[in-house]
Structure 1
């Protein structure tokens, strides 16, 4: 679920703001290297003739975000205690299934992990821990809530656009920097050259080029690919390519390898997702549950925080 990533990203974004704040000039109060020695603190950063002490850095962290971070840590402790009390466990299969869901729209598993690391500083271990926490929280929230088949069927009937059969396209593309480069590649395709080989040789998309430009099976309304690409792909037949198409990083040539239509009956995994979503709707706000569990286990903050 996207909510898992958003939860973690919110903390990391705050951390980024702290880092930005910490790199502002640090001596507008006349601080000197001698002051650092007097404080018994190591230098955390240096810019020009200015030095930011580790103590000042930590104080700024605590002042602005320390309480929120402590609450997040207490939440995790409280959820772990409640899960143990209720005999709730999270399996590796559940973790992998949730991660797989989060990876939808990425060209590969590696592309997903690289994006999370580059954009938000999240390692694989970080993502696994967040998924474990979220699943535990949801299981606790939905204890004792029963959703029957009739409720699931009703929900699916009320959301036909989401669960009716729809097309999926097996796509590949070649991206280049300039339009004339794309036109030259199109000419070579028209003369019978292999799309995959041209992608390996010329595509600028590092995630797909080694796989011959393959993007894999994507929904016909995939939100993660440029709309110009998807609109064009929907209008051509298997075995055809089209372009040049203007995309954010240059120009693209799209190739439709195959088209398939999904079954009209939602698979069991989809029905289980609907069941879980309906249960969560009945459970109420998860942040209230976190607050209640902190209280249940006697959580309290004893640290002092510098005044703003």
Structure 2
């Protein structure tokens, strides 16, 4: 698994937990006793029977919705809430603080694999319903938990050096290219299109007009971001692309079904961490390995601060 894949996997796990917590909180808040503000018992009954959703002639009441949320997520949500209380108490007692820089660095790692910061936040909002503030709160919690976990654990330079040497391929920079192509049936047609490009023709327009690839021609021939060693594109195409700079095109490149003109729209390097940042990250990972499961730490801190769940939950 690459560093990018590990970063994305960790983000998904964290965000999935967050979704359960946030979803459950809706139900939990609905279970709180009514405040003494002059409401009558009838008002409370009306609140419980009020429709939360309607479909056809049927309704789903607020109370039905709340009970379903409580049944599905209630206990996990309470445990997550207790975890956050326990970690906050332990961090305060230990003088542990989380800086804005640490939060931004954590979010930056979670953004690996996204074309931009805005694309990351938009995806988290659309797919998980999580705002920037939600992500910041989750990052702060995870950092605090990890800092508590690694207290008293020391990782020396030799351990860091050995780990980097054993996992060297994970820390090599990976070149990625934003590629587009035009596919045609014969070489002479490809050469004619190249002449048009050299005369100032627009690649996207030419792809739309002449490309035989029905999957890319309506999108200007775009293949999207690809690794420089992408195994799903012909070797001849990737070999040519690796010789090009941004904004350059080349061909004709022979492929099994005809000929290709390849165009490099942009280039980026995935791993932008400095050697110092890499060593810091390795040191953190090694310390966490020695610390043991974070779930166990959460459980022990709940016990330390006397956490109790004093409500019952409906059976599944």
Give the structure-1-normalised TM-score.
0.70
- CA-based RMSD of the aligned residues comes to 4.4
Q: What is the alpha-carbon distance in structure 2 between the residues aligned to residue 288 and residue 128 of structure 1?
A: 24
Q: In structure 2, do the counterparts of structure 1 residues 271 and 77 end up closer, same or farther at CA, with 3 Å as the change threshold?
A: same
User: Could you say which residue in structure 1 is the equivalent of 2:308?
Assistant: 300
Residue 258 of structure 1: how far off its partner (Å) = 5.7
| Contact 2:21/2:76 (8 A) holds in 1 | no
Q: Does 1:255 align with 2:243?
A: no
Residue 268 of structure 1: how far off its partner (Å) = 0.2
| Consecutive unaligned residues in structure 1, runs of 5 or more | 20-35, 245-251
User: Could you say which residue in structure 2 is the equivalent of 1:51?
Assistant: 59
Q: Which runs of structure 2 are paired with 1:202-221 in the superposition (5 Å)?
A: 220=228
Match of 1:228 among 222, 226, 233: 233
Q: Does 1:238 align with 2:253?
A: no
Q: In structure 2, do the counterparts of structure 1 residues 277 and 157 end up closer, same or farther at CA, with 3 Å as the change threshold?
A: same
CA displacement, residues 166-223 of structure 1 (integer Å, 9 cap, x when unaligned): 5524x334599x999xx9xx76545433569999xx9988xxx9xxx9x89x86468x
Match of 1:192 among 197, 200, 211: 200
Q: Does 1:96 align with 2:101?
A: no
CA displacement, residues 108-141 of structure 1 (integer Å, 9 cap, x when unaligned): 1111111111111111111111111111111110
Q: Which runs of structure 2 are paired with 1:165-204 in the superposition (5 Å)?
A: 166-169=173-176, 171-173=177-179, 189=197, 191-193=199-201
User: Could you say which residue in structure 2 is the equivalent of 1:135?
Assistant: 143
CA displacement, residues 30-55 of structure 1 (integer Å, 9 cap, x when unaligned): xxxxxx97784211111000011100
Q: What is the alpha-carbon distance in structure 2 between the residues aligned to residue 279 and residue 231 of structure 1?
A: 45
Residue 151 of structure 1: how far off its partner (Å) = 0.4
Q: In structure 2, do the counterparts of structure 1 residues 289 and 37 end up closer, same or farther at CA, with 3 Å as the change threshold?
A: closer
| Contact 1:233/1:255 (8 A) holds in 2 | no
Match of 2:69 among 61, 84, 103: 61
Match of 1:276 among 284, 288, 309: 284
| Contact 1:4/1:131 (8 A) holds in 2 | no
Q: Does 1:8 align with 2:15?
A: yes
Q: In structure 2, do the counterparts of structure 1 residues 232 and 71 end up closer, same or farther at CA, with 3 Å as the change threshold?
A: farther
Residue 229 of structure 1: how far off its partner (Å) = 9.3
User: Could you say which residue in structure 2 is the equivalent of 1:83?
Assistant: 91
Q: What is the alpha-carbon distance in structure 1 between the residues aligned to residue 236 and residue 52 of structure 2?
A: 51
Q: What is the alpha-carbon distance in structure 2 between the residues aligned to residue 58 and residue 179 of structure 1?
A: 59
Q: Which runs of structure 2 are paired with 1:141-160 in the superposition (5 Å)?
A: 141-160=149-168
Find the structure with the greater CA-based Rg: 2
Give the structure-2-normalised TM-score.
0.68
| Contact 2:249/2:263 (8 A) holds in 1 | yes
> What secondary structure is seen at the aligned counterpart in 2 of 1:193?
coil
User: Could you say which residue in structure 2 is the equivalent of 1:29?
Assistant: none
Q: What is the alpha-carbon distance in structure 1 between the residues aligned to residue 138 and residue 184 of structure 2?
A: 42
Q: In structure 2, do the counterparts of structure 1 residues 279 and 74 end up closer, same or farther at CA, with 3 Å as the change threshold?
A: same
Q: What is the alpha-carbon distance in structure 1 between the residues aligned to residue 90 and residue 48 of structure 2?
A: 42
Q: Does 1:115 align with 2:120?
A: no
Residue 232 of structure 1: how far off its partner (Å) = 4.4
Match of 1:267 among 254, 275, 297: 275
| Consecutive unaligned residues in structure 2, runs of 5 or more | 1-6, 27-43, 208-215, 254-260
Q: What is the alpha-carbon distance in structure 2 between the residues aligned to residue 79 and residue 67 of structure 1?
A: 18
Q: What is the alpha-carbon distance in structure 1 between the residues aligned to residue 277 and residue 122 of structure 2?
A: 27
